Amino acid sequence: MSNDQQLTDRLPPQNRDAERGVLGGILRDPDTLPTVQQHIVTDNFYFDAHQKIYQALCDLATDAQPIDLVLLYDRLRKNKQLEDVGGQAYLVELWEAVPTGANAEYHAKLVKDTAMVRGLIHASNEILRDAYDRTQSGDELVAQAERKIMEVAKQGMVGETAVLSTVVKEAFDRLDSRIGQDNLAISGLPSGYVDLDNMTAGLHNTELVIIAARPSVGKTAFALNVVRNIIVEGVSSGQSPVVMFFSLEMARIELAERLLCCQSRVGSHNVRKGHLNSDDLQKLMDAGDILRRCRLYIDDTPSRTMIQIAASARRLQKKHERDGGLKLIVIDYLQLIEPENRRDPRQEQVAQISRRLKFLARELKIPVIALAQVNRASEDRQDHKPRLSDLRESGSIEQDADTCMMLHRPGKFEGQEDNVLEVIIAKQRNGPTGEITLTWRKEYNRYESYIADVNMGDGGI
């Protein structure tokens, strides 16, 4: 017999004692049922008799009836399931299986864990079967496998409820920490641009920030500048925060060159051609010394799915949990993330991706910045400025985002000098909307705080 056949024929994992402990605990102390229900559902039980008994207990609670052996016996009898579960004798066994209901939640977690392992085995068997059948392409099989594994992972998610008094205390704790900061205007991660931080109070944990623009307006450059401001400021303060940049469009070497030019103020065209004098080389070396101390991780793997992005982010979070953890994720850009199911309509694909991005921000408790394309509608307007309605392929991006920044370079359309970037904060769930202006130093791929007379000082960091 082959190894695959042996694995298939093995009895799935189960925990009979834990299942009996859950049911007996509920019978001993019916008040434990709501707690147990936060962890498991009927299908998590392996044994059919236990599924029917647990469902009957839940039905009694739903009908606002008390829970005891007599009422459970009567409910199972009416459902014509009494003999299926072993009769009255087995119900008494469950009662006697545990002395108290105190451990019902612990037993429920064991049942949930075993059910997840069974689900993983079942999903793996289906993946194996589909792979051997070869009725789909390799890409479709991988996407289907990811979806099956994600469904198993969702089974392990447990709801969390908090009383208002606890949440209010947390709110005051956060307020105290803000008051203790030197810069009272910034309660999140500073972007490095004074006007932008004054309006947004920084990048906040659990929030999804969308930076949207037409192609070639400067989304990647703007995001890289924000990242550079954050990591370089961290170096000067003692330790660079951990930032992860997913580049689905540009290679990591191109991003590194941009960062070097931005930090050193050496012209990017000269770097590309290799026309550098000794002063330029020294500036680049000094910039490299600073950037080497920054903890920026770049993943330039193309065709990433949200499952892969989330897995990479979780691994980095785990790796650095002892020294502050991951502080920011940037994804360039949203529409290039591979959908889990290519057969879904494009609008639904993008909607699923934007929801996953928001879930990732909440799960890791950090800000997530996602770059996005806007459609051509803005080019037909007199002012050429993008709007929220211009976000390509899905209105759910606007819905899921906490902050939407639309980038506009007036010089591209109005024939004037192209050295200004307008950052239009079109949506901010917890703050005002409006516009701020930055100076665009094209030769360095650098954005700086705006100077009215365009004197090109050393704005920014």
Active-site positions read 249
Contact status, residue 394 vs residue 347, Cβ threshold 8 Å: yes
- Residues 241 and 317 sit within 8 Å (Cβ to Cβ): no
410-433: string of b/e by CB count within 10 Å (b at 16+)? beebeeeeeebbbbbbbbbeeeee
Please return the burial class of 333, using the count of CB atoms within 10 Å of its CB with bins 0-12, 13-18 and 19+. Answer: buried
Query: Cα-flanking dihedrals φ and ψ of residue 33, to 5°?
Result: -60, -45
Interatomic CA distance for residues 25 and 17, integer angstroms:
12
Contacts of 149 (CB under 8 A, 6+ apart): 120, 123, 307
Task: Yes or no: say if 36 and 23 are a contact pair by the CB < 8 Å rule.
Answer: no
Q: What is the DSSP secondary-structure string of 70-115? A: HHHHHHHHHTT-TTTTTHHHHHHHHHHH-S-STTHHHHHHHHHHHH
Residue 14: how many other CB atoms lie within 10 Å? 17
Work out the widest C-alpha separation in the chain, in whole angstroms. Answer: 92
Q: Which amino acid is at 460?
A: G
Q: 210 - beta bridge partners?
A: 370, 404
Distance CA 228, CA 234 (A): 10
Structure tokens at 33: 């049922």
**Cα–Cα distance list, 288 to 248, 310, 429, 448 (Å):** 24, 29, 38, 20
Q: Give how far Cα 379 sits from Cα of 62, 71, 121, 214, 373, Å.
A: 57, 70, 52, 9, 13
DSSP 445: T
Structural tokens at position 268: 């990017």
